[in-house]
Amino acid sequence: MDISNSKSVQLLVLSATTPDALKQQSMQLAQYLEKKPEWSLADIAWTLQVCRREHRYRAMIITNAVKNTINALKNIDKDSIVKRDADNILSRTNTFHFSNKMAENVLASYCNAVPSLCDDIKCYLKLTQVKSERVKTFIEEYVVAIFMMRCGIKPNLVMGDGVGAFTAAAIAKALPLIQIVNLLELSEFDKDLYDKKLEKIKFNPNSVQLFSIPQNLLFGVGDSIDETYFANVFNPKRAKQYPKETGSCIIKIGELSGDTKESDSSILELIGKKWLAGIRIDWTLLHKDSKRYRIPLPTYPFQRKRYVTDEVSTPNALASVVVETRGNNA
């Protein structure tokens, strides 16, 4: 599926060295699109994401139609412009919270925004020959999480409800994927064998912090969980509060609030906000398996600045400076 041949939403990113230059750039692009409404929004997004330098002052637009794009570009103001902060805590403290079930409209929204996710999920499902709904949910959540991490949005802490607890353990590398898939199948079809299997498993040290919701317990980087982590994941008592290590940005994978019609922009909005905060995004992943073309968009609007220099009164004065300089270097 090629985004340029669909009505999928696109993420347009703009940046400049000053707010005024950014507003000028957005106005130039709006005027350009008024003259060239036939250009593909996907190609425009690609050009802005991959073929332009990234500057400090930034803005983003999520759109699925040229007319809407033009209006949004003309309405960019100081409130929609963000100054990138390299030390912004939002760029460093992300928590992935995985749900027990991937809602159909959520999965559809992810795939509409990033069509290659569907292909990756189908590939995993085929490899594991899934017969379990729990395994299916796990694979869907795992693929979406890996995609975000490859884009540049990496968690410092992971947690999950039900199946999501297994996904969190996989992202923390507490267990190999094949063992998690086997455990999930047993948990659904053979609870006794599931309990016996857990007792024999050797867990790896966590690569990121892992929070157990049923236990209300935080496992740090390098710590190892044990079988009690999985004991009550499908009938958990909710933790009274998230640990302080959760940070300021909790990304819920599998849950989506709001109107389904607006949901296609959710994953792009998340990526866009992280880019605004200063994270370097691998934009090529948004266009994987799609042919994109660089569009000859308006060039960067350099702002004119006037400089005042001291006048050299006569040619002889200039010559004497040169002679004196040479003499000092001799």
User: Using the 8-state DSSP alphabet, how is residue 16 labeled?
Assistant: E
Q: Which fold has domain 89-269?
A: Malonyl-Coenzyme A Acyl Carrier Protein; domain 2 (3.40.366)
Give the per-residue pLDDT at 261: 42
Give the per-residue pLDDT at 253: 87
Q: Which fold has domain 1-84+278-316?
A: Alpha-Beta Plaits (3.30.70)
Confidence of residue 87 (pLDDT cuts 50, 70, 90): low
Contacts of 76 (CB under 8 A, 6+ apart): 14, 22, 23, 26, 59, 61
Query: Is 325's pLDDT higher than 60?
Result: no
Q: How far apart (Å, rounded) are the C-alpha atoms in residues 134 and 7?
A: 31
pLDDT tens-digit readout, 271-288: 998 899 888 899 998 888
Buried b (16+ CB within 10 A) or exposed e, 250-270: ebebbbbeeeeeebbbbbbbb
Q: Is 115 helix (H, G, I), strand (E, B) or coil?
A: coil
| Mean pLDDT, rounded, for 177-204 | 88
Give the per-residue pLDDT at 270: 87
Domain with CATH 3.30.70.3290 in the chain: 1-84+278-316
Confidence of residue 245 (pLDDT cuts 50, 70, 90): low
Domain with CATH 3.40.366.10 in the chain: 89-269
Give the lowest-confidence range in 41-45, 113-117, 270-274, 309-313.
Answer: 309-313
| Mean pLDDT, rounded, for 78-95 | 72
Q: How far apart (Å, rounded) are the C-alpha atoms in residues 165 and 255?
A: 15
Query: Is 263's pLDDT higher than 50?
Result: no
pLDDT tens-digit readout, 201-234: 889 999 999 999 888 889 999 999 998 898 888 8
Give the per-residue pLDDT at 248: 61
Give the per-residue pLDDT at 74: 95
Query: Is 19's pLDDT higher than 90?
Result: yes
Query: Does 318 or 71 have the greater pLDDT score?
Result: 71
Give the per-residue pLDDT at 32: 93
Give the per-residue pLDDT at 246: 65
| Mean pLDDT, rounded, for 79-105 | 76
CA atoms within 13 A on the CB side of 169: 29
Percent of the chain whose predicted confidence (pLDDT) is above 90: 38
Percent of the chain whose predicted confidence (pLDDT) is above 70: 79
Give the per-residue pLDDT at 323: 40
Confidence of residue 267 (pLDDT cuts 50, 70, 90): confident
Q: Is 148 helix (H, G, I), strand (E, B) or coil?
A: helix
Give the lowest-confidence range in 149-163, 187-201, 225-239.
Answer: 225-239
